[in-house]
């Protein structure tokens, strides 16, 4: 799958729950519908947490990947 | 008269009426505004130690990030978390805590016996230790977690009974909390999707 171009990037590496989720939520609040956020985290619970965050908030998790314990997420804003 | 209802109308007309009614009802239901209820988290914070003050705020800040409503009822020692003079200096109790790790990670076999934990100054040591872990892990301090929560409209309920019992007045509490009793909290919690006691 070809990844979309991110309109904004958020680096949450080295931060633990709940800080990455708080920052992600704060960031998307300043973005517009349809825009894409790229978020990178190292919290070991990032993968299920971001999936749950997307389910709860309704934003679209376009892609979630892991490489050497660094997790990268692409989120498209739906509202 | 003994006339069967079915025989009163022409079957085609009956079918037409039935269809009209069915469509009309479906249309009326569809035009109703769909009310989506915001999920709600209701918690009781009953402990006043630093390690027990964190979990409600971790959950609260996460829940508001998901778009939920959150309310925390601070009761008994948990009320210290809302006390102006105390919330910045909550302690970790080392006594009777077998999970308490040794201060030196290189010596994992060195467990701290309760007798040592009971010595004067050990509470300060345990507290300093946890604060250093928190800082190292880049986790916000408790006052920072509280600030994030209050900025996100987390409701802070201060237990009136505890205030009366412990001689705490409203002026002793941090700004923005609501003094109430169990009734108000239960009323709030009765429509919560998730509720817990910490």
- Secondary structure of B120-162 in the HEC alphabet? CCHHHHHHHHHHHHHHHCCCCCHHHHHHHHHHCCCEEEEEHHH
Q: Which residues, 6 or more positions from B173, have their beta carbon under 8 angstroms from its beta carbon?
A: B82, B83, B84, B158, B179
Tokens 């990268």 correspond to A72
pLDDT, residue B89, reads 86
Q: With residue A60 as reference, give the H or E element that holds it.
A: strand A60-67
B139 reaches A (C-beta below 8 A) = yes
Q: Do B140 and A19 touch (CB under 8 A)?
A: yes
- CA B195, CA B85: separation in Å to the nearest integer? 28
Q: Measured between alpha carbons, how far is residue B1 from residues B4, B5, B195 in Å?
A: 9, 11, 62
Q: How many A/B residue pairs have CB atoms within 8 Å?
A: 35
Residue A1: pLDDT band with limits 50, 70, 90: low
Q: Do B65 and A16 touch (CB under 8 A)?
A: no
Q: How many CA atoms lie within 13 A of B175 on its CB side?
A: 2
- Report B:18-47 residues touching A (Cβ under 8 A): 39
Tokens 């900025």 correspond to B151
Tell me the sheet residues that pair with B73: B44, B157
Encoded tokens for B149: 């929560």
Q: Do A19 and B139 touch (CB under 8 A)?
A: yes
pLDDT, residue B94, reads 82
Q: Tens digits of per-residue pLDDT, B25-42?
A: 888 888 877 677 899 999
Average pLDDT of chain B, as a whole number: 88
pLDDT, residue A15, reads 92
| Mean pLDDT value across residues B40-62 | 96
- CA A22, CA A39: separation in Å to the nearest integer? 12
**Percent of chain B, pLDDT > 70?**
91
Active site residues per annotation of A: 17
- CA B103, CA A36: separation in Å to the nearest integer? 45
Is the bond preceding residue A18 a cis peptide, omega within 30 degrees? yes
Which residues in chain A have Cβ-Cβ distances shorter than 8 Å to B138? 14-16, 19
Q: What is the ipTM of this complex?
A: 0.78
| Mean pLDDT value across residues B156-176 | 92
Which residues in chain A have Cβ-Cβ distances shorter than 8 Å to B58? 17-18
Domains recognised in chain B with CATH numbers: 40-197 (3.40.1260.10)
pLDDT beyond 90 at B61: yes
Q: Measured between alpha carbons, how far is residue B72 from residues A44, B42, B82 in Å?
A: 28, 6, 11
pLDDT beyond 60 at B6: no
Answer whether 0.80 is exceeded by the pTM: no
Which residues in chain B have Cβ-Cβ distances shorter than 8 Å to A52? 66
Encoded tokens for B131: 């604060």
Domains recognised in chain A with CATH numbers: 8-76 (3.30.110.40)
Q: Tens digits of per-residue pLDDT, A11-52?
A: 999 998 899 999 999 999 999 999 999 999 999 889 988 998
Q: Do A22 and B61 touch (CB under 8 A)?
A: yes
Encoded tokens for B126: 């345990």
Q: What is the DSSP letter of B127?
A: H
């Amino acid at each position: 799958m070809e990844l979309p171009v991110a309109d904004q990037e958020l680096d949450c590496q080295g931060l633990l729950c709940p800080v990455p989720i708080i920052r992600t939520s704060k960031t998307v609040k300043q973005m517009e519908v349809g825009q894409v956020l790229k978020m990178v985290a190292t919290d070991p619970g990032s993968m299920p947490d971001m999936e749950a965050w997307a389910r709860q908030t309704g934003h679209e998790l376009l892609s979630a990947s892991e490489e050497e314990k660094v997790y990268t997420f692409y989120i498209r804003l739906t509202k | 008269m003994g006339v069967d209802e079915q025989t009163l109308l022409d079957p085609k007309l009956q079918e037409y009426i039935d269809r009209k009614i069915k469509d009309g009802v479906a249309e009326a239901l569809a035009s109703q505004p769909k009310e989506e209820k915001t999920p709600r988290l209701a918690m009781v914070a009953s402990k006043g130690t630093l390690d027990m003050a964190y979990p409600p705020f971790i959950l609260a800040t996460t829940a508001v990030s998901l778009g939920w409503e959150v309310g925390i009822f601070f009761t008994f020692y948990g009320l210290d978390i809302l006390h102006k003079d105390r919330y910045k200096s909550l302690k970790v109790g080392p006594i009777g805590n077998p999970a308490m790790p040794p201060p030196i990670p290189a010596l994992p076999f060195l467990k701290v016996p309760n007798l040592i934990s009971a010595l004067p100054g050990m509470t300060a040591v345990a507290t300093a230790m946890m604060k250093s872990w928190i800082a190292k892990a880049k986790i916000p301090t408790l006052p920072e977690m509280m600030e994030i929560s209050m900025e996100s409209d987390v409701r802070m309920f201060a237990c009136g009974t505890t205030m009366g019992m412990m001689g705490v007045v409203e002026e002793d509490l941090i700004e923005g909390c609501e003094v109430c009793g169990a009734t108000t909290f239960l009323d709030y919690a009765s429509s919560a999707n998730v509720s817990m006691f910490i």
